[in-house]
């Protein structure tokens, strides 16, 4: 950074710049956006990071990444550049248009309900994945990778199926607000370099916990069932004691033993329960997150509550 006196009112050029316009070498391109990974505001991927499934899984668990994988349709909604024209008919650029994308999904009502949580303003970025599996990142001044800057993100109203027409759907619309970043400060990673398909990107599945019965004061076990929130029937298997937290009369504890008595049915062994409010939810006590990892899968649950009398 130079002293202010050296840079005040100083123009580097009269607009435009020298550009490398040769066509030698292989030409890199980016296809039709198919998936989008929303990033938390301020989230940065250091340029030395090895992009692996395990890395993505950890960042999804933390809430830094929200993948929406394989949309059913994509629509370009960007605004055009606007010009003013003087009395001599000479045009001058007045306002640069901003990119705007729409991703349409046909993934069922639990997915549609979760989309409602994504409506926001200036709180997220976006990593794009095209239909060939290439990834497009924004690049910051340090050369690290970020999500392209977003302004308004809107989960549009759900569209119902019309007889003989398209399936019901819901779309996510996002406007990119940094035109310079979108046009110039980005990088593309080829599918072969990524090493995995977009279908393998980890996402969080909703789980529903239900008490099989309401325990009594002094009991040391709790029986529950855990199923997928999308259909309320598919069992969530393979959970362990460290995947749960039980709160009784304001005191929280991790079960000492978790026994899966049948697919998705668990008995949790706890210290003596007290009169008052009882709740059970999935919680990663090792990492202090409300998302648990079971093998390659991620789950987040409701909070199942009852009152012990």
Indicate the domain borders of the chain.
Answer: 30-200, 204-308
Q: Tell me, what's the pLDDT at 115?
A: 97
Q: Tell me, what's the pLDDT at 12?
A: 66
Q: Tell me, what's the pLDDT at 162?
A: 86
Gap between the Cα atoms of 168 and 300, Å rounded: 25
Q: Tell me, what's the pLDDT at 16?
A: 65
Quote the tokens at residue 236: 């969530």
The residues near 264 (Cβ < 8 Å, ≥ 6 apart) are 225, 226, 227, 234, 235, 236, 237
Q: Which residue intervals of 161-285 are DSSP H helices? A: 179-183, 191-194
Gap between the Cα atoms of 303 and 79, Å rounded: 43
Multiple choice CATH, 204-308, 2.120.10.30, 3.30.470.20, 2.60.40.1220, 2.40.30.260: 2.60.40.1220
CA–CA distances in Å: residue 226 to residues 60, 204, 206, 246: 21, 15, 10, 14
DSSP 122: S
E strand or H helix that includes residue 144: none
Q: Tell me, what's the pLDDT at 304?
A: 97
Q: Is the dihedral of CA 5, 7, 11, 13 positive or negative?
A: positive
Q: Tell me, what's the pLDDT at 9?
A: 66
The residues near 55 (Cβ < 8 Å, ≥ 6 apart) are 49
Quote the tokens at residue 176: 């990119």
pTM of the predicted protein model: 0.89
Gap between the Cα atoms of 208 and 61, Å rounded: 18
For the chain, residues with pLDDT lower than 50 are: none
Gap between the Cα atoms of 118 and 302, Å rounded: 18
The residues near 210 (Cβ < 8 Å, ≥ 6 apart) are 224, 225, 226, 227, 304
């Amino acid at each position: 950074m130079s002293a202010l006196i050296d840079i005040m009112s100083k123009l580097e050029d009269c607009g435009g710049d020298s550009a490398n316009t040769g066509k030698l070498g292989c030409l890199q391109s980016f296809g039709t956006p198919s998936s989008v990974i929303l990033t938390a505001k301020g989230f940065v991927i250091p340029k030395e990071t090895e992009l692996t499934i395990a890395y993505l899984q950890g960042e999804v668990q933390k809430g830094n990444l929200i993948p929406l994988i394989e949309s059913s349709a994509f629509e370009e909604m960007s605004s055009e550049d606007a010009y003013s024209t003087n009395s001599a008919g000479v045009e001058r650029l007045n306002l640069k248009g901003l990119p705007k994308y729409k991703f349409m999904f046909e993934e069922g009502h639990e997915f549609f309900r979760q989309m409602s949580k994504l409506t926001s303003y200036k709180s997220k970025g976006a990593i794009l994945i095209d239909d060939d599996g290439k990834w497009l990142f924004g690049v910051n001044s340090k050369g690290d990778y970020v999500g392209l800057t977003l302004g308004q993100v809107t989960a549009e109203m759900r569209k119902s199926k019309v007889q003989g027409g398209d399936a019901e759907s819901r779309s996510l619309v996002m406007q990119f607000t940094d035109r310079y970043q979108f046009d110039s400060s980005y990088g593309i990673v080829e599918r072969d370099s990524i090493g995995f398909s977009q279908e393998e990107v980890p996402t969080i599945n909703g789980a529903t916990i239900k008490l099989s019965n309401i325990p009594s004061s002094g009991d040391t076990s709790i029986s529950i069932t855990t199923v997928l929130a999308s259909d309320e029937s598919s069992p969530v298997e393979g959970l362990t004691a460290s995947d749960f937290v039980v709160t009784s009369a304001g005191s929280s504890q991790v079960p000492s033993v978790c026994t899966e008595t049948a697919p998705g049915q668990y008995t949790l062994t706890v210290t003596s329960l007290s009169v008052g409010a009882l709740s059970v939810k999935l919680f990663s006590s090792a990492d202090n997150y409300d998302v648990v990892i079971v093998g390659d899968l991620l789950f987040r649950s409701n909070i199942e509550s009852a009152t012990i009398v």
